[in-house]
Chain A
Amino acid sequence: MQIKVENNKAWFLVLPVFLIVAFSAIIPLMTVVNYSVQDIFDPYTRYFVGTEWFKQVMLDSRLHEALLRQFLYSFTILAIEVPLGICVALMMPTKGRGASLALILVAIPLLIPWNVVGTIWQIFGRADIGLFGAFMSSIGVDYNYASDPTDAWLTVVLMDVWHWTPLIALLCYSGLRAIPEVYYQAARIDQASRWAVFRYIQLPKLTNVLIIGVLLRFMDSFMIYTEPFVLTGGGPGSSTTFLSQSLVQQAIGQFDLGPAAAFSLVYFLIILLVCWVFYTTIMNMQKDK
């Protein structure tokens, strides 16, 4: 009988990563917890206030509205990007030069920095010089993202879909390429329809990449800041002011470090909860299969 020797030295190789994460995430998070229970005037003048900031944050109606907008935004873009990404991946060519060209074209939006994406769509959506704005005007739609909240929402959602659907598409494309040809051969022998192939072969095999895609997109969209900030500045009014922008206004604009720290922690807990629910649900669905 062969005895399996366990080598725990690998844990030491993880140590550098742990130290980096400690300095970049854990220590700042601990500092935020410390700030959240104090009224900070300057580095040397601070007073312990207990849970006062948490009460203020939890009862702030502006933050409730920003939270609702944030959930609406994240679920809207997920509802569009995931099916669209799967469709794009299914339509992409699999062989020859066409495959390489499609990969490059699809990946281009992912290479553009967030603030540049905001600027591109700021110009693209303008009725006087932007292609999208001019097109909407030409078909008789009174479109103005700077003054109409619905138009602002439409533009912010379209911008995110344009920027991030390629990520889902590329993840799904790699998932589809990993399916062995024998599955398709078996489907052909059974004369399975195109839908049956998708439903019983491709979709189950895409589950793992979709878990990663949904989690990444949820977390990213829930923390979105730069693109709407550049495009609409959170307006018109506060119609596109999401959580991170409210947080920045409070922390940097008003220099309310205590309430901003309490807000950050509530924000962090919500992200942690939603990600855990997503992850657990999807993993349990897989186990049940």
Chain B
Amino acid sequence: MAWMSWTLPTALFFIGIAVILVGMTTWQIISPCVERRGFLPLATTRGDRLFIGLLSSAFIHLAFVALTDVNIAVATVLCAFWMVILMRWG
């Protein structure tokens, strides 16, 4: 695995993604979701909201990096809140 040039932050990032995917799959098996409409202008399933949340979080991080000198951890915390809001009311 050395050729992949792993670092601790990227390893933690991928472990996080893997945990989310396994968790969502388990959640879906235990309690299958129904498509619904929240504050987003389209009907979404749980998986749709996760995808939208992850993609928008990536862009929020990029905007933080490009436009500010604030620590990236601030963007991560904001995105965590955003994900919770999106999954619950999106």
Contacts and interface: CB of A to CB of B under 8 A. Distances in A.
A179 interface: no
A46 B65 contact: no
A30 B43 CA distance: 31
B30 interface: no
A276 B66 CA distance: 23
Contacts of B31: none
Interface range, B side: 10 to 19
A38 B66 contact: no
B58 interface: yes
A37 B13 CA distance: 12
Contact of B10 (A34, A54, A266): A34
Interface residues of A, number: 26
B85 to A, nearest CB: 19
A266 B7 contact: no
Interface string B1-44: 00111110110011000000000000000000000000000110
Contacts of A58: 62, 65-66
A266 B9 contact: no
Contact of B4 (A34, A272, A276, A284): A34
A177 interface: no
A287 B9 CA distance: 42
A59 B68 CA distance: 12
A255 to B, nearest CB: 15
Contacts of B51: 276
B81 interface: no
B5 A38 contact: yes
Overall SS of chain B's interface = helix
Given A269-B55, A269-B58, A276-B51, A48 B66 contact: no
A284 B72 CA distance: 35
Contacts of A84: none
Contact of B62 (A35, A38, A46, A54): A54
Given A58-B66, A269-B58, A269-B59, A50 B72 contact: yes
30 contacts: A31-B4, A31-B5, A33-B13, A33-B14, A34-B4, A34-B10, A35-B5, A37-B10, A38-B5, A38-B7, A40-B5, A43-B3, A46-B5, A50-B72, A51-B72, A54-B62, A54-B65, A54-B66, A55-B65, A58-B65, A59-B66, A269-B55, A269-B58, A269-B59, A269-B62, A272-B55, A273-B59, A280-B42, A284-B42, A287-B43
